Amino acid sequence: MVTTPQQTTADITYYVRTDGDDNNTGLVNTAGGAFRTIDKAVSMLPKVINHAVVINVAAGMYTEELLLAGFSGSGSIYVIGSETLAGAINYKIINLYVYRNSIRMNVNGFEFTGAPANRFNSSVRINENPGFFEVALCRCVFVDTTKNGVAATGSPSVDVYQCEISNKQFACFSSYASHLTVQDFLGSGNSYRFRGSGGGLISYFGTTSSGTDVSDAGSIVISTVGVLNPWGDNTWGSRPASRAITSSSVQQSLSAGVWAKIDFTQEVFDNLNNYNSITSRFTAPQNGIYQINASVVFLNPIGNGACELNLFQNGVNIRRFDYKIATALSSLSVQGSAAILMAAGDYIEIFARGTGASNLSLGYDNNFEVVKIA
């Protein structure tokens, strides 16, 4: 009876080839020395890995699942197919399942051809895995939008490096305290690019294809631009924000007693292209609370009447910003700010009115600023 856990005693390399045989030793990269299946190579490993283990897989189609489960120790396991993403098409396996390992593991250079239902419909499933795991230079491009690419649950350190995932429901999925770091991602045709749920985190950087991201139940999907803010999204680069001013050369004239929309025709910045300088209108791209600041300068308004500045939402006057009494032959600045609730598609504009006719000042004297704050 064995009472001491079996463990590695030295570094080891196994070879797998389509012309090999599982009755071989697996120690020589020839038809007479290599294993026929990856599963055979994995089965030869003790559960305690204290050294570097490499499983070199030759090009070919392997109709099997790569299962890595229950390994511990101070060593590492590398399963290596292609050395490039383009070459991964020549190294095919059905899927990869990683479960409850505490050591470092890397799987490089394969194309996955399936996503079993019992593996969360995912080609790469990492489940309750406390150790570092990296899947790199791998492809998952078969067409099935009911299936997923990489899905992690309860796995705090997962790296997805230079992989191509297309035509799936979720390209990458992170849940229940999992953290996926995605670098140089390629893919298209996915219902969702990145999905976080139940406290999962996905952070991504480098070259990244476009796609729809979604997060819920305390999860976060974030790029490396900016810093994380209290509302769970990324700061200025991904937040609706704009500033516009009036013309620097043409004064806008206001008729006496008539509300007139201010022509903020010059954009200073517009992060997500939500401001239209032709209509002088900001349109909310998403539900939220928006901070609006506005100011204009009346030049020598006629008479001693009032000068007003108001906020219009969806064509309706909803908020007075400022109301001041003009002094004859003296310019007057009116200004204000407000935090308002906007639904996606709502638009806002700035209007002004004077008791007497007036011209507005030029350029930076007149400002219209909007930023989503929550």
List pLDDT tens digits, range 278-320.
999 999 998 999 999 999 998 877 766 788 999 999 999 999 9
Give the tens place of pLDDT for each residue, 189-237: 999 999 999 889 999 989 888 888 888 877 788 775 545 554 555 555 6
Give the SS3 label for residue 179.
strand
Give the pLDDT confidence score for residue 237 in this predicted structure.
Answer: 63
pLDDT of 304 reads: 60
3 alpha carbon, distance to own chain's centre: 49
What value does the mean pLDDT of the chain take? 91
**pLDDT, position 328:** 65
User: What's the CA gap between 347 and 261, in Å, rounded?
Assistant: 13
- Which H helix or E strand runs over 324? strand 316-325
Which residues in the chain come in under a pLDDT of 50?
Answer: 1, 226, 230
Is residue 124 within 8 Å of residue 159, measured between CB atoms?
no
Q: What is the per-residue pLDDT for 36?
A: 98
Q: What are phi and psi of 89, to 5 degrees?
A: -60, -20
pLDDT attached to residue 220: 82
Residue 201 CA to chain centroid, in angstroms? 10
b/e map 222-253, b = 16+ CB within 10 Å: bbeeeeeeeeeebeeeebbbbbbbbeeeeebe
CB-based contact 182:152 (threshold 8 Å): no
Query: Six-digit token pair at 56?
Result: 């070199």
Supply the pLDDT for residue 5.
66
Q: What is the DSSP secondary structure assignment for residue 234, as one 8-state letter? A: B
pLDDT value of residue 1 = 47
Separation CA 264–CA 352 (nearest Å): 12
H-helix segments, 225-361: none
pTM assigned to the model: 0.64
Question: Is 261 within 8 Å of 280 (Cβ atoms)?
Answer: yes
Dist CA 12 CA 161 (whole Å): 25
Q: What is the DSSP letter of 247?
A: -
pLDDT of amino acid 64: 97
**Helix-strand-coil split of the chain, %, nearest 5:** 5, 50, 45
Q: Which helix (H) or strand (E) holds 123?
A: strand 122-127
Task: Say if residue 111 is exposed, middle or buried (CB neighbours under 10 Å; 0-12, 13-18, 19+).
Answer: buried
